[in-house]
């Protein structure tokens, strides 16, 4: 195969399809047409190029110009198209241009994150800072990586934070270490708490502070077990309190437990209010997650129950659904899965809460441990990023005190469209794109490693990443005996759209040949992640990108580049990761069966969900879905069962989205976002899309979801 030498020295394969798609784009954008046979011209270009073993990209451009000498309008359009393409690349790193986008309130800047209220001065200041960091950060990547990002072939996530600022992505901090050892926060030294109320207060402060030292989610592993020692302290204090009054009366223990139960409820309520009323230094509610379900002591069970009750009760007099923390309820055979299991009563409460509040999501611990190979449960970081199995130098399994260093996602539909349905060439293009991802991930990892310990003091000096004793640099946390304790991710968007482009069949999912091809795409990503493992201190892993605004961005770029292609990019969004298309009818079991095939090839993170009408009055149905998830080996799943609330008239149900108006109460027609609580799953996490608008593509995707 002829090797193409790019102007930056990079060597790549030659694809006549790329020239063809550029010519087609020039035709469409500038409304011109070939007067001669386009296929013959392309064949002539390909024949001339293939005469060379190696050829400069500039020479290929000259060959194309020569072939188009009898097509002056096409040649002019082609040259102008290339200028426009270069202009967009130049503008991406042009600070003055990017600041003008902010000044003009470009919706793609203002609404890029549904967890940020762009109406506030704090958020606008953060967005403005992000504009600067994006332009400067993009320049830190190799030129070919920059170009691929701007052209929408790949997406460099979190550019408003990294690599210009050397911050990691999401984390599973070692809260147990920090609470037990104490931490220095600002001007105060916070010592080990002596009650559950104080422990929860410190936990909320830590979550908020850590959110400013990274970009993604902060997860608390097994909240019930983490807080149990402080719950026990509170219980013992209450025993002493009642003993002072009642001495050895038999009701001392009963009264002490009753008061402790109330203390735990109050502490859990404080946590809910703290997190949902905070605005972090990133101008958003702390993107937080808590997990629990397997603790079986009295205190551990009460922590689970009281947190679920607080979530079920809602926030304030209108009982508004809390957005954070995201709740992961661990389900395990013999602990809480079936009637008779010790914690089955709490599972019932979790099901009831999920039916009304969307959270908790369910995590199937038995199958998660089988997939990961460990003996302990793992809590997802953020909305779906899962760490790999890891042992420390003493052979102990360690999951806390770890993080993710960043994500770069691939636009699979773009490659499929450009390959013109040729699967072999698609995989060649995918391999080339993976090389760009590899180079980009090195920039992300190197940026984090270059930081000073004071860049993220809670994580590096106060125990967020575990015992900091003897650590003199950030590299110490990722090298030596800690090597491979972090992850770094290869993401992807639009398996469905890519497969539709390759097969010209929108209903390809249950045809064996096509289904295998879809799986082969993700198998290739997983194999590549393993191939490059030794190059990184972190573990490269494949991640099913949630793509809140990214699905919109990729689809928008591709419509401009390739035109409207029915079934592929004719909507304002691409489907998230490997998900069955949200707009096609399918029953839950069949959807589970299809999507579960992808789990083992996406070990860096994935999620499954189904859409249902509100199930708060059908808890047997809700539990049957959870049980089906477990039975079919579904590892991480949620049920989207909306329960909106109109503060004006008291109506509850699922509000409809009305174009040019927003979410509207069907009872009193109220659409004022201040008087209407609307909660939807944006991707892995929830949002208030009526108060904090999302990008157009994500809103269309939400609107198009069918009930399963």
Q: Which two tokens stand for residue 137?
A: 């950060």
Q: Which of 383, 607, 622, 676 is catalytic?
A: 383
Q: Which of 219, 354, 385, 419 is catalytic?
A: 385
Q: Which of 110, 170, 622, 683 is catalytic?
A: 170
Q: Which of 217, 494, 684, 697 is catalytic?
A: 684
Return the percentage of the chain with pLDDT > 70, whole number.
93
pLDDT of residue 378 exceeding 70: yes
Residues in the chain, how many? Answer: 708
What is the rounded average pLDDT for all residues in the chain?
A: 89
- If pLDDT is split at 50, 70 and 90, which confidence band does 607 have? very high
Distances (CA, A) of 466 to 190, 385, 453: 17, 19, 13
- Active site annotation includes 634: no
Burial class (CB in 10 A: 0-12, 13-18, 19+), 598: buried
- If pLDDT is split at 50, 70 and 90, which confidence band does 405 have? very high
Nearest to 280 by CA among 460, 456, 123: 123
Listed by start position, the domains of the chain span 1-92, 171-384
Instruction: Please tell us whether the domain made up of 171-384 is placed in CATH 2.30.33.40.
Output: no
Quick: pLDDT tens for 245-276.
888 788 999 999 999 999 999 999 999 999 98
- If pLDDT is split at 50, 70 and 90, which confidence band does 18 have? confident
Phi, psi (deg, nearest 5) at residue 278: -80, 145
- Active site annotation includes 404: yes
- Active site annotation includes 456: no
pLDDT of residue 114 exceeding 50: no
Return the percentage of the chain with pLDDT > 90, whole number.
59
Q: Which of 215, 265, 312, 543 is catalytic?
A: 543
- Active site annotation includes 293: no
Quick: pLDDT tens for 199-245.
999 999 999 999 888 988 899 999 999 999 999 999 999 999 999 98
Average pLDDT over residues 93-121: 59
Phi, psi (deg, nearest 5) at residue 397: -75, 130
pTM of the model: 0.91
Distance, in Å, from the CA atom of 573 to the CA atom of 697, rounded to the nearest integer, reads 5
Quick: pLDDT tens for 221-230.
999 999 999 9
pLDDT of residue 128 exceeding 70: no
Quick: pLDDT tens for 137-168.
888 999 899 999 999 999 999 888 889 889 99
- pLDDT for residue 178: 97
Q: Are the CB atoms for 43 and 61 separated by under 8 Å?
A: no
- Active site annotation includes 383: yes
484: left (phi over 0), alpha (psi -120 to 50) or beta: left
Handedness of CA 625, 627, 628, 630 (dihedral sign): positive
Q: Which of 25, 113, 118, 169 is catalytic?
A: 169
């Amino acid at each position: 195969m002829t090797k193409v030498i790019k102007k930056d020295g990079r060597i790549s394969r030659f694809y006549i399809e790329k020239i063809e798609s550029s010519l087609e784009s020039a035709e469409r954008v500038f409304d011109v047409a070939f007067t001669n046979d386009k296929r013959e011209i392309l064949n002539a270009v390909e024949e001339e190029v293939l005469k060379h073993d190696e050829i400069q990209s500039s020479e290929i451009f000259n060959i194309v110009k020569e072939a188009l000498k009898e097509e002056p309008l096409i040649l002019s359009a082609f040259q102008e198209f290339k200028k426009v393409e270069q202009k967009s690349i130049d503008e991406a790193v042009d600070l003055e241009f990017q600041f003008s986008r902010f000044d003009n309130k470009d919706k793609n800047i203002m609404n890029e994150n549904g967890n940020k209220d762009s109406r506030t001065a704090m958020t606008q200041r953060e967005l403005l800072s992000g504009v600067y960091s994006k332009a400067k950060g993009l320049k830190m990547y190799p030129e070919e990586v920059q170009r691929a990002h701007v052209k929408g072939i790949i997406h460099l996530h979190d550019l408003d934070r990294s690599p210009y600022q050397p911050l990691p992505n999401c984390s599973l901090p070692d809260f147990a270490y920090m609470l037990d050892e104490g931490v220095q926060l600002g001007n105060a030294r916070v010592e080990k708490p002596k009650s559950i109320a104080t422990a929860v207060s410190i936990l909320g402060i830590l979550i908020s502070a850590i959110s400013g030292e990274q970009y993604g989610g902060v997860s608390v592993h097994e909240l019930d077990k983490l807080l149990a020692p402080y719950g026990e302290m509170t219980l013992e204090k209450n025993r002493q309190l009642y003993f002072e009054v009642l001495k050895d009366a038999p009701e001392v223990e009963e009264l002490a437990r009753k008061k402790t139960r109330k203390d735990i409820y109050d502490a859990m309520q404080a946590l809910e209010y703290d997190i949902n009323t905070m605005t972090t230094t990133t101008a958003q509610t702390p993107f937080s997650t808590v997990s629990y379900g397997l603790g079986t002591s009295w205190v551990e069970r009460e922590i689970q129950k009281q947190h679920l009750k607080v979530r079920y009760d809602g926030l304030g007099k209108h009982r508004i659904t809390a957005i954070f923390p995201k709740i992961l309820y661990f389900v395990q055979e013999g602990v809480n899965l079936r009637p008779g299991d010790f914690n089955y009563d709490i599972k019932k409460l979790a099901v009831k809460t999920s039916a009304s509040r969307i959270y908790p999501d369910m995590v199937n611990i038995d199958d998660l441990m089988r997939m990961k190979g460990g003996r302990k449960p793992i809590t997802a970081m953020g909305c779906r990023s899962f760490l790999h199995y890891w042992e420390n130098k003493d052979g102990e399994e360690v999951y806390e005190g770890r993080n993710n260093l960043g994500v770069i996602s691939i636009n699979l539909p773009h490659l499929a469209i450009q390959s013109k349905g040729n699967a072999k060439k698609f995989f060649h293009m995918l391999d080339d794109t993976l090389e760009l991802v590899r180079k980009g991930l090195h920039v992300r990892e190197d940026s984090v490693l270059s930081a000073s310990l004071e860049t993220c003091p809670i994580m590096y000096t106060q125990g967020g990443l575990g015992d900091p004793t003897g650590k003199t640099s950030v590299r110490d946390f990722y090298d030596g005996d800690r090597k491979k304790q972090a992850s770094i991710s290869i993401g992807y968007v639009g398996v469905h759209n890519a497969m539709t482009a390759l097969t010209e069949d929108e209903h390809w999912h249950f045809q064996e040949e096509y289904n295998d091809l879809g799986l082969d795409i993700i198998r290739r990503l997983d194999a590549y992640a393993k191939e490059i493992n030794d190059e990184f201190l972190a573990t490269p892993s494949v991640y099913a990108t949630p793509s809140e605004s990214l699905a919109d961005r990729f689809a928008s770029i591709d419509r401009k580049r390739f035109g409207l292609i029915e079934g592929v990019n004719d909507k304002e969004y691409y489907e998230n990761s490997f998900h069955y298309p949200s707009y096609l009818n399918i029953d839950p079991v069949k959807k589970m069966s299809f999507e579960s095939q992808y789990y083992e090839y996406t070990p860096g993170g994935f999620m499954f969900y189904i859409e249902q009408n509100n199930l708060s009055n059908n808890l047997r149905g809700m539990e049957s879905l959870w049980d089906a998830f477990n039975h079919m080996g579904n590892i991480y799943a949620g049920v989207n069962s909306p329960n909106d609330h109109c503060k004006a008239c008291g109506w509850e149900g699922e509000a409809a989205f009305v174009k040019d108006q927003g979410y509207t109460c069907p009872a009193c027609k109220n659409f004022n976002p201040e008087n209407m609580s609307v909660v939807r799953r944006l991707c892995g996490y929830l949002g208030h899309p009526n108060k904090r608008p999302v990008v157009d593509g994500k809103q269309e995707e939400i609107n198009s979801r069918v009930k399963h």
